Chain A
Amino acid sequence: MSIPNDIQITADIVANHGLSSDEYEKIKQLIGREPNFTELGIFSAMWNEHCSYKSSKKWLKTLPTTGTRVIQGPGENAGVVDIGDGQAVVFKMESHNHPSFIEPYQGAATGVGGILRDIFTMGARPIAAMNALRFGAPDHEKTRHLVSGVVAGVGGYGNSFGVPTVGGEVEFDARYNGNILVNAFAAGLADTNAIFYSKAEGVGLPVVYLGAKTGRDGVGGATMASAEFGDDIEEKRPTVQVGDPFTEKRLLEACLELMATGAVIAIQDMGAAGLTCSAVEMGAKGGLGIELDLDKVPVREEAMTPYEMMLSESQERMLMVLSPDKEAEARAVFEKWELDFATVGRTTDDLRFRILWHGDEVANLPIRELGDEAPEYDREWVTPPAPAPLGDIPRMDVGEAVLKLLSSHRFASRRWVYEQYDTLIGGNSLQTPGGDAGVVRVAGHPTKALAFSADVTPRYCEADPFEGGKQAVAECWRNLTSTGADPLAATDNLNFGNPQRPEIMGQLVKAIEGIGEACRELEFPIVSGNVSLYNETNGRAILPTPTIGGVGLLPDHANMARIGFAAKNQPILLVGAPAAWGKHLGQSAYMKDLFERSEGAPPPVDLQHERRTGDFVRSLIRSGMASAVHDLSDGGLAIGLAEMALASGIGAEITALEGCDPVEVFFGEDQGRYLVTLSVDPQDEALDKLWQDAEEAGIFAPWIGTTGGTDLTLGAAAPLAIEDLRHSHEEWFPRFMSN
């Protein structure tokens, strides 16, 4: 791409950069002239949806982002939350949807690499990762190839880098046929007095480039990530970014070593639109200008133009402002780890972003305006239509339905996926995938641990984005609670279609409102996040998918609950149940997966009830009374019980509920419910005390059955042998992948 820098900018060139003519006019007005080609590239990178959040900013501002423990909310590489004892957890989630569709292995790998970099850029050593994945219908021709590549890529990067992957989601739906979702989460631990930010301070200081060399990778990638796919997708392919976890691992060690020397004043990783976004951010935040000399940038290809260098998305690179008296010390660290280290510029006091190349000034732009003056849209939106009311409930034998659901793509064990991830590295994994949340011990502390979960139910969001947004938050909060953790804070990854369509914009607006309301009620602030729009192909959007990634703190992991039944002859309580135990079949898996019907409202989330119930369950765990805990979500009571039985090999017998419809009882997806088994003798007065406490808290916690045996007996239905359940549950994924 050797377009000369002084080429006449035409309407076509502007459009190819994803800028509207109004946006281009605004650029001209801001800089008082026509931009040159490099400058246009810089603006397009800064002003695309991915970097500027121009369609979502107005709504993101409404989310609760503060709390007593929040040290840093959205706006930095990752959110930072205090966990006591001078330590903080640093976390974020980010999408790599489009690249993963084009090249699943490398797309997913570089997604994981990018989120890990966000974490250690802030001075934190990564301790846990999760991945929330959504693929097209299992029988779609591309699906298997994409699953195989994405999972291998997530593992390929994370395993080599050395972070345990402790949770995630995998879901299939035809609505993702042309746009898969790869949302990667990472969390790290840092000392609260050693958190690093991107704000540069001080004039005339060296701007240093670290890590891998710059190539033409992904030039135009951020622009692509913000564009809708059409049939010409093949032509939009930029050079694919290839991940190098070995370099990233060295970059991690080198950065942490360097940070410990006190040399780092500001640091920013190079993600989308690498050098451009990172330099502008450091300067603009610090009220400084930045001058870069591109002749100093380590490159791995010949004849790279300034345009290409400024837009390159080569991975495993960082930009830092260093304290000049420590430059030599810093260089020594990077030489030890055999990474490139080059002083490529300096901070200035004139608030200009100046790029030098071969002795010429090839760009000179106002640095603040590049970010601050990015367009912000109040896009038109309409409230999405309500789904058709729920019709007649078709019947199916409870046992048959359980077996069918367990062996379906939705409920089949994800073992095939997570066994490809190193879930144990670090030696601190207390709960690995397969339960409600991953749990990782805080190394060096005798009792503390952190819990992680990622959740959303897109079909609920489609039916009612507001309730769906609430539900995603509530389910995440519930999963953390199920381990005994206090939910601390969350990150959100909002995946939607084209925001220029009012009905899609309406989904986004309503989902954010729902998320905001739930986060406020549950005191579960959003401290970081990511927005991925234009996930549609030929005008057909994905299901609205606002993934919520949450972090919780267990003060003492000796009192931690797990999903598997702990012993036989233990009472099973359904904590938080309505009088009929369960009723809500609108948008349920029962209707959707067994009868291909998706009408009815999704289950409403009563946030006060969630909170009361969650707090109560947590108190049962902390008191040592709860021996196993599992929250109910997709699939309702029957699936929840089956999962507890499968995790332990112990069966259960559930009392038939007189006068109730077994389909509603066992497959209703009413929210705010937990299954809790108790380690107390049923005759013990502790149980009476428990019910008394529950009643005072306004919670119904019926004793619905007892653990034991090797069958799962659901009311009047014929007993299901756990071995048969296991066969159903384990079979689908390997069979699907080996076809």
Chain B
Amino acid sequence: MKSAVVVFPGLNRDRDMLAALESIGGIPPVTVWHKETGLPDVDLVVIPGGFSYGDYLRAGAIAARSPIMQAIREKADQGTRVLGVCNGFQILTEAGLLPGVLMRNASLRFVCKTVRLKVENADTAFTRGYSAGQIIDCPVAHHDGNYFADSDTLDRVEGNGQVAFRYAEGTNPNGSLNDIAGVFNEAKNVLGLMPHPENLIEAAHGGSDGRALFAAALDQVA
């Protein structure tokens, strides 16, 4: 399956993401610059992590208004898989493709460590490599990962099975409501998550729990 990685100025985990997609999918992804207005013909669009525009104003806010976002929106509407990791998640919420917002961590500090995630919904194109309820390791590295939504939105997200991952008990690093670490859109073809599965895909990383996510998104699993 073909994939594209969208690059905004200030993103910095683009190389990590390119390496992960290539190593798991076997094909180097296409890189798309934020000023472009169209996307190549791919099955998976990924917005990686980092600090687009320095995260100035609000994390992801400025990038969410870039020219390429219209094309991403259209692709998403057509059912193409879109994955936003960390800053990518923030960008997707700012752009309205995913519900809720990511606020400053409750500690007000940047946090980088490995947490445990509970796979909440394993019945989607992204998560079918895991089983529901499975606990996996995954690193986080962010300053604004505190998931918030008003109660109606939250009820809807919970009710529709839109929660993809939760921080396992006792490991919520940022104060997210309902321990939410990742959410889908209603159609489940758009996923945003704060943790970095791309940094846990081989023995040298100390584990490979992140692999299954990319393997599924790239149709490398049955």
Closest B residue to A158 using CB positions: B110
Knowing A249-B10, A420-B111, A430-B204, say if A162 contacts B19 (CB, 8 Å): no
Tell me the minimal C-beta distance from A47 to chain B in angstroms: 36
Knowing A155-B110, A249-B9, A338-B9, say if A427 contacts B16 (CB, 8 Å): yes
Question: Please, what's the 1-or-0 string for A335-362, where 1 marks a CB less than 8 Å from any CB in chain B?
Answer: 0011000000000000000000000000
Tell me the minimal C-beta distance from B93 to chain A in angstroms: 19
Distance between Cα atoms of A247 and B109 in the complex (Å): 22
Distance between Cα atoms of A247 and B10 in the complex (Å): 8
Interface membership of A159, Cβ < 8 A = yes
Tell me the minimal C-beta distance from B16 to chain A in angstroms: 4
Contact present for B12 and A427 (CB under 8 Å): no
Closest B residue to A449 using CB positions: B204
CB < 8 Å: which of A156, A338, A421, A425 contacts B12? A425
Closest A residue to B23 using CB positions: A427
Distance between Cα atoms of A161 and B11 in the complex (Å): 9
Distance between Cα atoms of A253 and B141 in the complex (Å): 22
Knowing A162-B50, A249-B12, A427-B198, say if A156 contacts B110 (CB, 8 Å): yes
Find chain A residues with CB under 8 A from B13 CB: 162, 425
Which interface residue of A247, A250, A420, A441 has the most chain B CB atoms within 10 A? A420
Contact present for A424 and B199 (CB under 8 Å): yes
Contact present for B16 and A421 (CB under 8 Å): no
| A 232-261 contacts with B by CB, 8 A | 244-247, 249-250, 253
Interface membership of B221, Cβ < 8 A = no
Contact present for B110 and A420 (CB under 8 Å): yes
Find chain A residues with CB under 8 A from B139 CB: 424
Find chain B residues with CB under 8 A from A337 CB: 9
Knowing A155-B110, A420-B111, A427-B20, say if A441 contacts B204 (CB, 8 Å): yes
Interface membership of A419, Cβ < 8 A = yes
Contact present for B56 and A422 (CB under 8 Å): no
Interface membership of B67, Cβ < 8 A = no
Interface membership of B53, Cβ < 8 A = yes
Distance between Cα atoms of A441 and B9 in the complex (Å): 25
Closest B residue to A152 using CB positions: B109
Distance between Cα atoms of A557 and B204 in the complex (Å): 9
| A 407-444 contacts with B by CB, 8 A | 418-428, 430, 441, 443
Question: Please, what's the 1-or-0 string for A243-286, where 1 marks a CB less than 8 Å from any CB in chain B?
Answer: 01111011001000000000000000000000000000000000
Closest B residue to A444 using CB positions: B19
Tell me the minimal C-beta distance from A477 to chain B in angstroms: 25
CB < 8 Å: which of A245, A425, A430 contacts B54? A245
Closest A residue to B55 using CB positions: A160
Contact present for A250 and B205 (CB under 8 Å): no
Total residues of chain A contacting the partner, CB 8 A:
31
Knowing A159-B141, A160-B55, say if A419 contacts B111 (CB, 8 Å): yes
Distance between Cα atoms of A338 and B62 in the complex (Å): 15
Contact present for B9 and A161 (CB under 8 Å): no
Contact present for B141 and A420 (CB under 8 Å): no
Find chain A residues with CB under 8 A from B54 CB: 160, 244-247
Distance between Cα atoms of A337 and B7 in the complex (Å): 12
Contact present for B55 and A419 (CB under 8 Å): no
Closest B residue to A244 using CB positions: B54
Find chain B residues with CB under 8 A from A430 CB: 204
| A 549-573 contacts with B by CB, 8 A | 557
Contact present for B50 and A246 (CB under 8 Å): no
Knowing A159-B110, A424-B139, say if A246 contacts B12 (CB, 8 Å): no
Find chain A residues with CB under 8 A from B112 CB: 159, 418-424
Interface membership of B51, Cβ < 8 A = yes
Distance between Cα atoms of A155 and B141 in the complex (Å): 11
Interface membership of B81, Cβ < 8 A = no
Closest B residue to A441 using CB positions: B204
Interface membership of B196, Cβ < 8 A = yes
Interface membership of B15, Cβ < 8 A = yes
Contact present for A419 and B113 (CB under 8 Å): yes
Contact present for B16 and A246 (CB under 8 Å): no
Contact present for A420 and B20 (CB under 8 Å): no
Distance between Cα atoms of A418 and B199 in the complex (Å): 17
Distance between Cα atoms of A441 and B141 in the complex (Å): 19
Knowing A160-B54, A162-B13, A245-B51, say if A427 contacts B109 (CB, 8 Å): no
| B 191-216 contacts with A by CB, 8 A | 196, 198-199, 204-205
Question: Please, what's the 1-or-0 string for A141-172, where 1 marks a CB less than 8 Å from any CB in chain B?
Answer: 00000000000100110011110000000000
Distance between Cα atoms of A427 and B19 in the complex (Å): 9
Which interface residue of A162, A249, A418, A422 has the most chain B CB atoms within 10 A? A422
Find chain B residues with CB under 8 A from A253 CB: 9
Find chain B residues with CB under 8 A from A244 CB: 54
Find chain A residues with CB under 8 A from B113 CB: 419
Distance between Cα atoms of A457 and B10 in the complex (Å): 38
Contact present for B51 and A422 (CB under 8 Å): no
Contact present for A160 and B9 (CB under 8 Å): no
Tell me the minimal C-beta distance from A316 to chain B in angstroms: 11
CB < 8 Å: which of B51, B143, B204 contacts A246? B51
Closest A residue to B35 using CB positions: A336
Question: Please, what's the 1-or-0 string for B86-124, where 1 marks a CB less than 8 Å from any CB in chain A?
Answer: 000000000000000000000001111100000000000
Contact present for A160 and B51 (CB under 8 Å): yes
Distance between Cα atoms of A557 and B9 in the complex (Å): 33
Distance between Cα atoms of A425 and B55 in the complex (Å): 17
Knowing A249-B12, A250-B9, A419-B111, say if A424 contacts B50 (CB, 8 Å): no
Of all A-B residue pairs in the complex, the 6 with the closest CB atoms, nearest first, are A162-B12, A246-B54, A160-B51, A427-B16, A422-B141, A424-B199
- 27 A–B contacts from the bound complex (CB under 8 Å): A152-B110, A155-B110, A159-B110, A159-B112, A159-B141, A159-B143, A160-B10, A160-B12, A160-B54, A162-B13, A162-B50, A244-B54, A245-B54, A246-B54, A249-B10, A249-B51, A253-B9, A419-B109, A419-B111, A424-B141, A424-B196, A425-B13, A425-B199, A427-B19, A427-B198, A427-B199, A428-B204
With A160-B10, A160-B51, A421-B112 already in contact, 9 other A-B pairs whose C-beta atoms are closer than 8 Å: A159-B112, A160-B12, A160-B54, A245-B54, A420-B109, A420-B110, A424-B139, A424-B199, A427-B15
